[in-house]
Structure 1
C-alpha cells in the first residue's frame, strides 16, 4: 500500500463517524482523567494535559488506528509513592524516562512477545477490566438521591434503544447531551464533572522538569519508570489485540511501543503524567463507529478545547450520564461467552482465565494479573506437552538386545518420565535407544539421557543412540557427559 493510500485509509475513510466517536470519547475522558489525577496525588490538569497529549500524538505515531491512549488508572497507581515522596517534578522526569524505555522496547521488537499471551489470559484481562470499570462507577451510585438512579437508567435506555432509530449519531453522545440538558432545565441537584476538580483555564506549555540531572535522580525515577513502561506497554498491547478483534484488522505492535514512548516523552514536557492505551475508551470509540486515526486525534484535541474554552459547560455534565456510558462499556467489554465456556473449555484454560480475573480485581494491577496468567499458561502447557512423551521397547537378537523407541518432547517437564521408562536392572548385552521421533530441548533433557546411558554402562551393557536430529545432536554433543572420558553417574558426580 502506498503512503497516500495508507493516509487516506487510516485518516479519511470514515470521517463523520470518527469525529462523532472522538467527541464521545473526549467527554468520557474528562472525569476519568480528573479521577486518575486524584489517585496519583496531582492536580487535575496533570491528567487532563496527559490525556490530550497521549491521544493526539498516538493518532500520528501509534500502530493501531482507532485505539485511544490517555492517563490511566493502572499507571496512576504506580505513581502514588513517587509523587508522595518526591513531588510532581520527579513524576514528570519519570514520565519522560518511561517514554525513552518504551521507544527502546519498540526498537528491540518486544511487541512480538504478545504471541506468548494466551487466549485465556486475554479473556481474563478483558473480564477483569470490565469488572474494574463497573466497580469504579459504584462511588457515584452510593449515598445519592433517586434522581441519579433515574438518570442512569434513562441514560442506559437511550444508549441501547436509540440505535434502533438511527446509528448515524452515537447513542452515548445523545445520552450525554440529553441528560445534561435535562439536569440544567430541571435544576437537579446532582454531582457534575465540575464537582470533581478545577478544570484548567490555559493551554499547556513546554517545561523542563525541575530536577537535578545526576545519578541520584536517575536512581529515584528509574524503578518507577521501568514499572510504568512495563505496565503501559502491557496494557497497550493487550488493548491493541482486543481492538484488532473488534475491528477485524491487524496492528503493528512494535510501532505502538515506539508511539507510546514518543507520546509519554511529549507528555512529560508539557506537565502531564504518564499514560497508555485505555481499553474502556477504545471500546467506546469502536462501538461508536470510530475506526481511523482521526477519532483519536479528535478525542484529544476536543478534550483540550472543551476543558480550556468550554469549561463552564463541560463542568455541568452530570456524572450520571458518564456513569451510564461506562456501565455500557463494562457490559460490552465483558466476554459473556466465557462464562458458558467454563463448562466446555479445558479446565486449564478456565483456571488461567479465572486466576487472571481474580488477581487483577484483587490488586487493581493489570500487569500482575497478566503475569500470573502467562505463568500459569506456561505451566499447564509444559505439563501437557510433558505427558505426550512415550517410550516403547522390544527385544531383538534372541533377547540379547533391547530396543527403546522414544516419541515426543524431552525437556524439564518430561525428563523424569523419560528416565523412569528405562529398566537398567535387566541383564542384557546391548541397548539401542531410537530417538528418531523425539527432540531434546534443554540441558535437563540432556542430563536425563546421561543418567540412562551411564546407568546401563555401569551394568556392563553396551548403549547405542540412533536417530538424533541435528538440533538435538548439537545440544547433546555440547552438554552431554556420557560420551566423555571418565563419565560418572550425573546423580552422584560433582
Structure 2
C-alpha cells in the first residue's frame, strides 16, 4: 500500500489561480451561502439542537472541507441524512455524548483516508444506500408532522409507529393557520424553480412566510403560529471551544453511533464528490476527501456544531453558479458567518411550520422514490436487501439498518460467488480451452486410467471449499491420481488452503496421488507461505495440464 500524502485540492488549485476564477468563486460562494442558511437552521432544529448550532456546523465544517478536502467543488455542512442519527444520539446520550461520538467519527474518517480505504466505501451495495436514504427521508417527514400542522402534543415519542399513533390521536388539535403556513411553504418551494433558479425556493418561502406571519400577528391574526423565537433563545455569538473529555467507558459506549456517523458521512461525501466529478469532468481524491471530512467532524463539535458531510444539493448549487475551486466553499462559510453575526436575531420570527415545509421538500427529494421503484424490479436478493434496510431504518434506527444490511449483502454476495464458481470432473478426456472457455484445439487430451481431473472455475474460498470436498468424496471409484486444475482460480483463502491440505492428507492415507495444475502466481504465493507445497512436493506442481498428465502417467507406470 502506498504512503498517504496530504494534498488538499485547495493547495493544488491556488497555483494557477487568477482573477476570473476568484470572481466566479465569490459569486458561487455567495449564492451557496444564502442557500445553506435556511437548510442549516432547519437541520439544526430537526436534529434536536438549537438553530445556531446548525449554522455553526455549516460555517466550521464548510470551511474545513474546502480547506482540507479532496474535491474542488464539495460543499460541507449539516445534511438531512444525519437528522435521525443525531436526534437518536441526543435522546440516548445527551449533547455531551453527541460531541464525543462526532469527534470519534472524525478520527475514524481520517483513518479511513490515511489507510486508503476511500475507494472501499464506494463498493457498499447500491440497494443498501437507497434503502437507508429512503428510510431516512420517511423518518424526517414523520418528525415534521407536529410542526407542519401545529398539533398540540407535549411529548412526541421517538418510536416511528408510536409517533404516528400519537399524531392520529391528537389530529383534532390541528391549527389551521400553522397548516396554511406549512402547505403554502411547500407550494412556494415546489413552484419557485419555474420562476427562478437563482434564488432558492426555501429562502423565498422563509422570507415570505416570516413576513406574512409577523404582520398577521401584529394585527392579532394567527397569534398561535409558533416561531423559532417561541421555542429557542437565539444568540448571535460564536461559542467557545469545548474539547470533550474522553474516557474508555464513553468510547466503548459511543463506538456504534460513532461508526454509524463515520460510515454515513463517508458514503454521502464520496457520493456527492462523485456526482460533482461527472458534472465538471474532474476526479476527486477520495482518501483526501475523507481526511477533510474527518477534520471537519473533529472541529465542528468542538466549536458547538453537529456532524457534517458533503451536501449534494449545495455542491450542485455551487457548480451551477460557476464555482470551480475550494475558494467558493470558503466564501460560502464566510457569508454564513456574516449572516450569523449580523442577522441571526431575525431568525426568531421564522415560523416552525415553514421550516417543517422546508424539511418536507428535503425529505421528498431525498426519498428517491423513482429509484426505489426501479430497484423493486431487480433480482429478489437485491429487493430483499433494499426493503430490509428501508424498514429497519424506519422502524428501528440507521445503525441497525446499516449493520444488518451489510451482513445480508455480504451473505448474498457470497451466495452469488458460490453459484458462479464451478467444480467440473473429467475422467476420460479434456477439450483444450483458454481461460475464457474458448476451444483452442480440436485434439482432445486423453486422461490416463485411474485418473480424475477436477477443474475449479472461480475463487477458492470458504464458500466453495466445502463444495469441492463434497464433489471429491462423492466419486464412487477410488482413483490412483487426482489432478486439481486451478488455472481459473483467482485467489484462495485460509479455509480453501485448509480444505486442500485436508484433502491431500486424506488422499495420501488412501494411496491417492495429488497433482496441481496451472496455479496462478497469487494462489501459488499463498500456498507457498502456508507450507502446503512441503506436503505435496515441488514436482507435483505443474504449469499446465499437459505437464500434469505427463506426471500422472509417470506415476502410474512406476
**TM-score normalised by L of structure 2:** 0.73
Residue equivalent to 1:67: 75
Q: Residue 237 in 1 paired to residue 269 in 2?
A: no
Q: Residue 27 in 1 paired to residue 27 in 2?
A: no
Contact 1:55 1:70 in 2 (8 A): no
Contact 1:34 1:44 in 2 (8 A): yes
Correspondent of 2:238 among 200, 203, 208 = 203
Contact 2:385 2:409 in 1 (8 A): yes
304-313 or 413-422: bigger deviation: 304-313
Q: How does 1:63-462 map to 2 (within 5 A)?
A: 63-64=70-71, 65-70=73-78, 72-73=82-83, 74-83=85-94, 88=96, 99-142=106-149, 143=151, 144-187=174-217, 188-189=222-223, 190-205=225-240, 207=241, 209=243, 217-223=246-252, 226-227=255-256, 229-244=258-273, 246-247=275-276, 248-249=278-279, 250-270=283-303, 272-277=304-309, 282-283=312-313, 286=316, 289=320, 292=323, 293=326, 296-297=329-330, 300-365=333-398, 367-390=399-422, 391-395=424-428, 396=446, 399-422=449-472, 423-462=474-513
Structure with max Cα Rg: 2
SS at match of 1:260: helix
Distance (Å, rounded) in 1 between the aligned partners of 2:103 and 2:456: 55
Q: Residue 465 in 1 paired to residue 476 in 2?
A: no
Structure 2: segments with no counterpart, 5+ residues? 1-11, 152-173, 429-445, 537-558
Number of residues paired by the alignment?
A: 468
Distance (Å, rounded) in 2 between the aligned partners of 1:410 and 1:93: 43
Residues 104 and 476 from structure 1, CA distance in 2 versus in 1: closer, same or farther, beyond 3 angstroms?
A: closer
SS at match of 1:484: helix
Residues 274 and 166 from structure 1, CA distance in 2 versus in 1: closer, same or farther, beyond 3 angstroms?
A: closer
Contact 2:469 2:499 in 1 (8 A): yes
SS at match of 1:275: coil
Residues 419 and 197 from structure 1, CA distance in 2 versus in 1: closer, same or farther, beyond 3 angstroms?
A: same
Detail structure 1 runs of 4+ shifted over 6 Å in the superposition: 6-11
Residue by residue, what CA displacement relative to the aligned partner does 1:270-292 show, whole Å, maximum 9, x if unpaired? 3x14422265xx43663685674
238-247 or 182-191: bigger deviation: 238-247
92-101 or 233-242: bigger deviation: 92-101
Residue equivalent to 1:474: 525
SS at match of 1:116: coil
SS at match of 1:315: helix
Residue by residue, what CA displacement relative to the aligned partner does 1:169-188 show, whole Å, maximum 9, x if unpaired? 22222222222222223233
Shift of 1:303: 4.5
Contact 1:202 1:308 in 2 (8 A): yes
Distance (Å, rounded) in 2 between the aligned partners of 1:59 and 1:481: 52
Distance (Å, rounded) in 2 between the aligned partners of 1:159 and 1:99: 34
Shift of 1:128: 1.9
Contact 2:185 2:358 in 1 (8 A): yes
Distance (Å, rounded) in 2 between the aligned partners of 1:291 and 1:194: 36
Residue by residue, what CA displacement relative to the aligned partner does 1:281-316 show, whole Å, maximum 9, x if unpaired? x43663685674566546544555445433442111
Residues 418 and 66 from structure 1, CA distance in 2 versus in 1: closer, same or farther, beyond 3 angstroms?
A: same
Residue equivalent to 1:489: none
Contact 1:67 1:240 in 2 (8 A): no
Structure 1: segments with no counterpart, 5+ residues? 212-216, 486-494
Residue by residue, what CA displacement relative to the aligned partner does 1:81-124 show, whole Å, maximum 9, x if unpaired? 5448xxx5x87577656545543443233323313312222222
Distance (Å, rounded) in 2 between the aligned partners of 1:169 and 1:262: 31
Distance (Å, rounded) in 2 between the aligned partners of 1:413 and 1:152: 54
Shift of 1:197: 1.0
Residues 252 and 160 from structure 1, CA distance in 2 versus in 1: closer, same or farther, beyond 3 angstroms?
A: same
Shift of 1:400: 2.9
Contact 1:35 1:196 in 2 (8 A): no
